[in-house]
Structure 1
Amino acid sequence: MASAAVTAPTTPVVEIPTISLRQTLPWLAFFGLVALIAIYFVGAEQGATSLISGAGVHEWVHDGRHLLGFPCH
């Protein structure tokens, strides 16, 4: 009886794509601007610096304001 040759399975080659700074910079700027706007509305949208009149924005972000440690009362 002849024995069959057993070969080890080959592992696939995984190539990690490189992303240049030129490709990521617009996305970083966009998300940075969105983060700054979110921090403004959560932390400072009330009183003298209010861009939107009324208490609607304050009520929408009230719990987030307390969670992040911003005083509002």
Structure 2
Amino acid sequence: MAQTAAPATTAVPAITPISLKAIAPWAVFFGILMLVLLYFVGAEQGATAVISGEGVHEWVHDGRHLLGFPCH
């Protein structure tokens, strides 16, 4: 009778949870980044414009309509 080898076992690495203290600064950073992006897509034109001219408006024009912001 042929001997069969025992199945090889593989060690599963332990998953270390990430603490909220480690995630919080990144969450705040990306939250502010998203708010700035939302401002440029949604409100960067007219009286509240940070950058003069139509460059930003034309660059985000299709995204503005996709998100439901009126612009003309």
Q: How does 1:1-73 map to 2 (within 5 A)?
A: 3-73=2-72
Look up the equivalent residue of 1:17 and give its one-letter code.
Answer: T
Look up the equivalent residue of 1:64 and give its one-letter code.
Answer: G
Question: What is the aligned length?
Answer: 72
TM-score, length-normalised on structure 1? Answer: 0.88
Consecutive aligned runs of 4 or more in structure 1 exceeding 6 Å deviation: none
TM-score, length-normalised on structure 2? Answer: 0.89
Deviation at 1:6, TM superposition (A): 2.5
- Percent of aligned positions with the same letter in both sequences? 61
Q: Please, what is the CA RMSD of the aligned residues?
A: 1.3
Q: Which has the larger radius of gyration?
A: 1
Deviation at 1:5, TM superposition (A): 4.1
